[in-house]
Structure 1
Amino acid sequence: MKLSEIKTILPALESVAFQTPDGSFVPEHFHVTEVGNIQKHFIDCGGVIRKETVVNFQLWNANDFEHRLKPRKLLRIIQLSEEKLGITDNEIEVEYQGETICKYGLEFNGKHFVLTPKTTACLAEDACGIPLKTDNQTEKTTGCTPGGGCC
């Protein structure tokens, strides 16, 4: 989801809720402790220099159980970040505490926001020896079975 999308959605909501990939919800008393612009400038394993920019939201649970972030307040935080930090319309990445700080994509299901899993990937598969799959290529099975001696 891009920043422009959340800005369009928020005015129509009565409350702000985030659902985690396991189906549970971020507790209602969460805070958005950061809205930022994260720029990543890197080189992939194939030697290609790349740049990536995302808008970052950090969600945090405090011990003030009466706190409730209203859509209008979140919209104001976003607008302030645009004014003060020059944040532009990029994809949103959400940080939320799991075993460590977890990063998620963001979607909206018509009722609430959904944190979507992000994964790592090789950006230069053709340069580092990973066979590329084609649409008509099917995975081959080896026919190996436990104890069969082929593995």
Structure 2
Amino acid sequence: MKLSEIKEILPTLSNVEFQLENGIFVPEHFHVTEIGIITKHFIDCGGTIRKEKVINFQLWNANDLEHRLKPAKLLNIIKLSEEKLGIEDAEIEVEYQAETIGKYDLDFNGNHFVLKNKQTACLANDACDIPAEKQKIQLSELNNACCTPNSGCC
């Protein structure tokens, strides 16, 4: 989800709710402790230099059980970060503390925001000689491609 999308969604909500992909909700007393720009400048295993830029939201649970972040307040924090940091429209990455700090993509399911699990991947498959994943099929799906007993094909 891009920053422009969350800015369109927030005014339509009465509450800001985040849910992990496994269905567990972030406690409703969470704080957005940071909004910023993260730039990653790196080289992949194939030697290609790459640059990525994401807008980072950091969610934190405090002992402040009475805290509730309203959509207008989050929208104001976003606008302030755009003004002060020069944030432009980009994909949002959310940091959230579980066993360790997790990084998530952001989605919206029509009711609340969903923290989507991120996966690592090789960006230079051709340089690493990683074989393509083979298609898995059931033998029963082969129909007449196999010999049957007494068919005379063997």
- Mapped to 2, the partners of 1:139 and 1:50 lie a distance apart of 33
Root-mean-square deviation (CA, aligned residues, Å) is 1.4
- Mapped to 1, the partners of 2:106 and 2:8 lie a distance apart of 14
In the alignment, which residue of structure 2 is the partner of 1:52? 52
- Mapped to 1, the partners of 2:135 and 2:37 lie a distance apart of 41
- Give every structure 1 segment of 4 or more consecutive aligned residues whose post-TM-superposition deviation is greater than 4 Å: none
Report the TM-score, using the length of structure 1 for normalisation: 0.88
State whether structure 2 residue 82 is matched by structure 1 residue 85. Answer: no
State whether structure 2 residue 13 is matched by structure 1 residue 16. Answer: no
In the alignment, which residue of structure 2 is the partner of 1:138? 135
Higher helix fraction (1 or 2) = 2
- Mapped to 1, the partners of 2:55 and 2:22 lie a distance apart of 23
In the alignment, which residue of structure 2 is the partner of 1:30? 30
Report the TM-score, using the length of structure 2 for normalisation: 0.86
SS of 2:9's equivalent? Answer: helix
- Mapped to 2, the partners of 1:140 and 1:17 lie a distance apart of 40
Which residue identity lines up with residue 109 of structure 2 in the other structure? N
The 5 A counterparts of 1:42-121 are 42-121=42-121
Whether the 8 Å CA contact 1:60–1:97 is kept in 2: the answer is yes
Whether the 8 Å CA contact 1:126–1:132 is kept in 2: the answer is no
- Mapped to 2, the partners of 1:67 and 1:140 lie a distance apart of 52
In the alignment, which residue of structure 2 is the partner of 1:123? 123
SS of 2:102's equivalent? Answer: strand
- Mapped to 2, the partners of 1:85 and 1:132 lie a distance apart of 42
Return the offset for 1:71.
0.1
Whether the 8 Å CA contact 1:46–1:128 is kept in 2: the answer is yes
- Mapped to 1, the partners of 2:120 and 2:137 lie a distance apart of 24
